[in-house]
Amino acid sequence: MRFGVGNVGNVGRGLTLAALLTGLVTGCGAEDADPDTASGKATARTSAKVAERGGSVGATGSACELPVTFDIAEFWKAEAVDTAEATAAAGDLAELVDVFARQGPVTMACEIDAKPAGKIGFLRVWTGKPGDADARAVLEAFVAAEPEASGAKYSTFEAGDVTGAEVEYVTTSKVLEESKTEHALAVTTSAGPVVLHLGGLDTDEHNAMLPAYELAKSTLRPTAA
C-alpha cells in the first residue's frame, strides 16, 4: 500500500503532511492494470531471471535496517519508512497513515523504488512483532487484508538456510475495472515476521521487475546480530 504511484505512496523518511495530502488526492490503485492477468495470460509471461546486483539492504548502516538482509537490483533506490514520524506529521490524518502503512499483521518498513532503473513500481518490505504465527499464516493474513486480492496461489521457497512462504495473486481495481499480478513472500525471524511485496504499475511492469524480486528472494538472509 502506497500513497501516490502505487498504494500508500510518498510514505518515507521525513514524510510531511503535504506529501500525505498529495497521496490522498492521487488516490490508491494507480498501479492497477492489465485485464489479461485475471485469465492467467499475463502470468505465463513471468520470468525467473535474477537481476544484476546493485547493493543490499537490511544491515546496520544500510538504507533500510531490517531483520533480514538481501540484495537489491542495479539502480533501484531503497528508502526507509518511518511510520511513527509519518503519523506524527499527519496530524488529523494520522489514522489514514496508519491504515495505509499497515497491512494485516505487518507495517511498511522500507520501499525500494524501481524508477531509477526505468520501471514503475516498488519492492516493499513490511515487518511485524514477534509471535507464534508461521510464515504461511503471516502471508495469508497479509493477502486477506487486501480487499481486491483474489486467486492466491501459495508455495514454499528456500534460500540458503532460510525457508519461507510465497504467494502469487491478482488484484482488481473496481474503479478501473482492470487487474494485475502481484507477488509476495514471508519469513519469520527472532525479531518478527518480514514480508517482501512486489507490485507494479501493471502486469507488464510487474513482470519486468520480477528479476529484482528473484534477486531479493535468492539472497535473503537473517541480519547478523
pLDDT digits (tens, 9 = 90+) for 28-50: 333 333 333 333 333 333 345 88
Residue 209 sits at φ, ψ, to 5 deg, of: -95, -5
| Domain positions in the chain | 29-81+101-222
Cα–Cα distances (Å) from 184 to 26, 27, 62, 137, in that order, read 25, 22, 22, 13
Give the pLDDT of residue 43. 32
Q: How far is residue 184's CA from residue 204's CA, in Å, rounded to a whole number? A: 17
- When pLDDT is cut at 50, 70 and 90, the band that residue 97 belongs to is confident
Question: Which 3 state secondary structure label does DSSP give 16?
Answer: coil
- pLDDT at position 48 is 59
Residue 18 has pLDDT above 60, yes or no: no
> What cell numbers appear for 87 in the block?
503519523
In whole numbers, what is the pLDDT of the chain averaged over residues? 81
* pLDDT over 50 (residue 133): yes
Query: Above 60 in pLDDT, residue 7?
Result: no
Question: Distance between terminal CA atoms of the chain?
Answer: 30
pLDDT at 158 over 60: yes
What average pLDDT does range 68-72 have in this prediction? 98
pLDDT at 102 (0 to 100): 92
User: How sure is the predictor about 117, in pLDDT bands with cuts at 50, 70 and 90?
Assistant: very high
Neighbours of 211 (CB within 10 A): 16
Pairing type for strands 162-173 and 178-189 reads antiparallel
The per-residue pLDDT for 96 is 78
What is the tens place of the pLDDT at every residue in 208-224? 999 999 999 999 999 98
* Cα 207 to Cα 212: distance, rounded to the nearest angstrom: 10
Q: What is the pLDDT of residue 90?
A: 74
Region 113-129: mean pLDDT is 96
Residue pointed to by grid coordinates 485469465: 39
Give the burial class of 129: count Cβ atoms within 10 A of its Cβ; 0-12 exposed, 13-18 middle, 19 or more buried: exposed
User: Which CATH number is 29-81+101-222 given?
Assistant: 3.40.1000.10
Residue 93, SS3? Answer: helix
